[in-house]
Structure 1
Amino acid sequence: MADFNTMRAQVSGARAEQIDTGLRAHMNKVYGTMSVGMLITGAAAWAIAGLATTTDPSAAAAQLPNGTYLNGLGSAIYMSPLRWVIMFAPLAFILFGWGALMRRASAAGVQLGFFIFAAAIGLSLSSIFLVFTSFSIAQTFLVTAIAFGGLSLYGYTTKKDLSGMGTFLIMGVIGLLVAMIVNIFLQSPAMMFAISAIGVLIFAGLTAFYTQQIKSEYVQHAMAGDQEWLDKAAIDGALSLYISFLNMFQFLLMFMGQQE
């Protein structure tokens, strides 16, 4: 990744001011799109958790620790083999579908794809409302938001080139995924604790890295006048930061969440 300050020094005057103004608008779109995605995820998770539970024992498929019951929908989502599809479908989309969508779809199509993905994440994340108290979920979200804001601000303002740690962090994510899949079968609390701690650190680093990458890539393509790319790039950047935020939240919830 080219250094932002080096690229910025190649232009001056009105052109430099135009790029700076465009960069601010671009970053606002990134954060705005990411925020809408988070709202969709939260609303979907809360709504689905409500639809999947009942207080009527006669219509129950299973009892939950908080005194409510899973209904037929809840049983299908959380207890049947369908839960594996719900769990891994978003990952499959990121690995195999997102790149194709970025290449072939319009900016509006890419944005719609992102929002559908956010809703699917809400479905897979809905079980947290059955396990953790609403207060601890809100508390963890607030802590994550504060940490994310600080890390993203660092990535945006630092003059240090963070591209060198990008490959290392991505390799860490791959190792983390493997460890999580293994622990599905092992069910080791100690391993889950280690995964959570390492996961927070990895996605904290990725938040700063992705922010700097979004900034530098914008300047690079703006200087080339690649408007078609810029229309989609904000959504791609929003997805990267959305994933970092969401994973930090989930791993922090393992530490801070209070169970029902």
Structure 2
Amino acid sequence: MENKTVYVERGESSALQTNKVLRNTYSLLAMTLAFSALVAGITGSMNLPSPHWAVFLIGAYGLMFLVHKTANSAMGLVSVFAFTGFMGYTLGPMLSYVVAAGASDLIVMALGGTALTFFALSAYVLTTKKDMSFLGGMMMAGFVVLIVAMIANAFLQIPAVGLAISAMFILFSSGAILMQTSEIVRGGETNYILATVTLYVSIYNIFVSLLNLLMAFAGGDD
């Protein structure tokens, strides 16, 4: 009887910990998305140029490395806002270009599509509580394919390949959302800062990729 009581107490403690990580993750995600949108709006209104690809890679991966190094300390929050602010800065010029082209409705559509995708995927995992770790192998294969395709298209500059890459990014990022949410729900991820960064990057990639696809299709209709 005593062992059963201990087991129930541990189960309740685990459930409370999981709910705490979920609550903290979604709260921080909402704040970082809002901060990123604010930075994107400011940089877009200032008509700043898009950062060079080398600056983007160094800034994005450098700050992401910093987030992982400080995730278990108070500096982790500073790092995550620095990272998402930088990503918002890189997004500003692109949004400014779309607005200047008179296609601001595409931004709204991309936002709506991204939000619908995120909430649908999250709701599925939160409701079913399925273990999505089986996606790991496919995600690794998809990552390799994406890297190869991006390097190849850097030289080939084929529009159709660029669209295919955007579509693959949406699928890859959707898988990342499923896996990360499942990790939180099943108690495998206990650091809400790392969970937030993973979900933020997935949402960022889905939005940018979806916007690229919409712009391409809208351009084709003209």
The TM-score with structure 2 as length reference comes to 0.83
1:32 aligned partner: 27
Query: 2 CA distance for matches of 1:90 and 1:148?
Result: 25
**Aligned residue identity for 1:116:** A
1:247 maps onto 2:205 in alignment: yes
| More helix per residue | 2
1:196 maps onto 2:166 in alignment: yes
4+ runs deviating over 6 angstroms: none
1:84 maps onto 2:53 in alignment: yes
Report deviation, 1:169: 0.7
Query: 1 CA distance for matches of 2:185 and 2:89?
Result: 31
Q: Any gaps of 5 or more consecutive residues in structure 1?
A: 1-8, 53-73, 220-229
The answer to whether the 8 Å contact 2:43/2:92 transfers is yes
Query: 1 CA distance for matches of 2:28 and 2:105?
Result: 26
* CA shift in 2, pair 1:131/1:170, >3 Å: farther
**Aligned residue identity for 2:62:** F
1:182 maps onto 2:177 in alignment: no
Q: Any gaps of 5 or more consecutive residues in structure 2?
A: none
CA RMSD of aligned residues (A): 2.5
**Aligned residue identity for 2:68:** G
Query: 2 CA distance for matches of 1:98 and 1:256?
Result: 32
Query: 1 CA distance for matches of 2:188 and 2:61?
Result: 27
Identity of aligned residues (%): 27
**Aligned residue identity for 1:28:** R
Deviations, residues 26-66 of structure 1 (Å, cap 9, x unaligned): 201101111111111111111101112xxxxxxxxxxxxxx
Query: 1 CA distance for matches of 2:90 and 2:60?
Result: 11
2:80 aligned partner: 114
The answer to whether the 8 Å contact 1:86/1:123 transfers is no
Query: 1 CA distance for matches of 2:69 and 2:151?
Result: 26
The TM-score with structure 1 as length reference comes to 0.72
Q: 2:195 aligns with which of 216, 237, 245?
A: 237
Total equivalences in the alignment: 210
Secondary structure (helix, strand or coil) at the match of 1:127 reads: helix
**Aligned residue identity for 1:125:** L
